[in-house]
A and B are shown apart, each in its own frame.
Chain A
Amino acid sequence: MNRLANRYRNILDFALSSLFRRKGKNLSLLAIYTLIVFALASLMLFVSAMKREAAVILKGAPSMVVQKMAVGRHDLIPLRYAAEIGAIRGVGEVMPRLWGYYYDSLIGANYTFMVSASLADYPEDIIIGNGIARLRNLAEGDIMPFNAPDKSPILFNVRRVMSHESELAAADLILISEKGFRTLFNFPTGYATDLALTISNPKEVAIIAAKIADRFPDTRPIPRSEILRTYDSIFDWRGGMMIVMLSSAVFSFIIFAWDKATGLSAEERKEIGILKSIGWETSDVLLLKFWEGVVISLSAFLMGVIIAYCHVFFFSASLFEHALKGWAVLYPRFRLVPAIDPYELAILFFLTVVPYTTSTIIPSWRAATADPDTAMRS
């Protein structure tokens, strides 16, 4: 056993000194390899964490939202629809939602206004999201001005700033009373933005959606499952977009690694010839090349994944921030709940470590099975 371990150690020693002889080339290969694994692992961890986050957070979203459509677009829904939809068997509660957007031309940010029943007695007060407070440097008790549709200014008192923990759901949110909302937006009475439905039996959701669509052909019922599916497709697409951008780098690396791994230099062929002539067996040469491949690929894989994990879960994926932010001025600060999917890691391992290691062995096997004299002369 000891003899066998010693044999492997000796071959590993030889492989390492062989790699160190071409230090510059191999270190740059290791650096690029690590960077590629880092980028792919960061993306993989970020996308799956965001999908999981959306699924957990939006679990409490309304069972169904009903929008009214007019000329192919989302329109305000008359409150009489609420009573009629509420009468459908299986529908629990129907809650009209009053919400809308406000563009702040001062800083170029979009806010989301939402009516909260908790502010019903405070028509001049608002509760703002932590993102807005940070951007506008606002605190509890400050005054925040807005413009009504006729451009007349309306002032609101900041009653409270929401906690920083809620940023992923409410960084740009402004909670307001119904009276304040209707005054600020000149919102017509008897209408709501949309209706939120409670359906206690999830099996009935599809049937209720069909009934609503049948009775009110000008509405669009959006069940919770569709909301969650939207997030799945968004992250798949945004993740896919990053893959497209990364693919050029990945392909350059593949060409570089393929060239490095498969094309044995004359010096390497000579080295194999000498080793064979002094008594090394073909299996020893293959083991040597296998170790050379493992040293590079395993180190790159482990380092790449470790750095990616730190980047996504300790530094909130700061390198992806610009891609996600787009044109937005207001961007939430949040920390993702760490999670690793062993299946995805296994895929990454088999896509990065295995191809490189095997591609180093095949040309060496060809050289090692050739006559040592020919190998030394080539």
Chain B
Amino acid sequence: MRQSTLFLTFTAMNILLFSLLMLHARTKPAGALAIQSSCAELVKELLLTDLCLFTEARYTRNPAMADLHSPFQDHPLSLEHFPSGSLVMPPAVIRRGYEPSR
């Protein structure tokens, strides 16, 4: 078989798979939609304001409700949602309390 035939077949299969995925995205699977509607109902019923995505600290659990500036308040090394949190270390006096005892 010619190499070009193999390549064209492979590309055609890729394009077919790609088109099927586009179709899959358009049809929206029932399972994922059930999750979305269940969460939306719960938000409406319980008057929730945030998604339960980052439970590590209270200002990441409810970022929309958090104090405007709340760095390092739950754990000195916790991931911050402010960009500076990944660059600035907390003061040594706070860090000391979390260092393992020797």
Contact = CB atoms under 8 A, between A and B. Distances in A.
B12 to A, nearest CB: 10
Contact of B52 (A62, A169, A313, A329): A169
Interface residues of A, number: 78
B4 A13 contact: yes
Interface in B18-51: 18, 21-22, 24-25, 28-29, 31-36, 38-44, 46-51
Contacts of A148: none
B9 interface: no
A351 to B, nearest CB: 17
Contact of A326 (B8, B43, B60, B66): B60
B39 A302 contact: no
A326 B11 contact: no
A175 interface: yes
Interface stretch (A136-144, A205-213, A225-233, A368-376): A225-233
A243 interface: no
Contacts, number: 191
Given A74-B67, A230-B64, A327-B79, A340 B22 contact: yes
B25 A340 contact: yes
A330 interface: yes
Contacts of B56: 110, 325-328
Task: Report which residue of A116, A165, A226, A303 has the largest number of chain B beta carbons within 10 angstroms of its beta carbon.
Answer: A165
Interface string B53-67: 111111011111111
Contacts of B81: 234, 237-238
A61 B7 contact: no
Contacts of A163: 38
A100 B22 CA distance: 42
Given A60-B40, A338-B29, A340-B21, A302 B11 contact: yes
A13 B2 contact: yes
A58 interface: yes
A9 interface: yes
Contacts of B22: 340
B32 A338 contact: yes
B4 A302 contact: no
Contact of A58 (B10, B49, B83): B49
Interface in A329-370: 329-332, 334-340
Given A16-B4, A17-B3, A306-B18, A337 B61 contact: no
A110 B52 CA distance: 11
B58 A170 contact: no
A305 B18 CA distance: 8
Contact of A241 (B25, B34, B86): B86
Contacts of A241: 83, 86
A266 to B, nearest CB: 25
A241 B82 CA distance: 11
Interface stretch (A49-57, A84-92, A248-256): A49-57
Contacts of A234: 63, 81
A60 B44 contact: yes
Contacts of B10: 299
Contact of A167 (B3, B52, B60): B52
Given A116-B46, A169-B43, A169-B51, A335 B32 contact: yes
Nearest to B63: A230
A324 B27 CA distance: 28
Contacts of B69: 72
Contacts of A298: 11
Contact of A12 (B7, B54, B79): B7
B21 A61 contact: no
Contact of A171 (B11, B43, B47, B52): B52
A109 interface: yes
A151 interface: no
Nearest to B31: A335
B24 A338 contact: yes
Contacts of A116: 46
Nearest to A111: B55
Given A101-B58, A101-B61, A110-B58, A57 B25 contact: no
A125 interface: no
Interface of B: 2-4, 7-8, 10-11, 14-15, 17-18, 21-22, 24-25, 28-29, 31-36, 38-44, 46-58, 60-67, 69, 75, 77-79, 81, 83, 86
Q: Which 5 A-B pairs have the closest CB atoms?
A: A60-B44, A326-B79, A165-B38, A302-B14, A169-B39
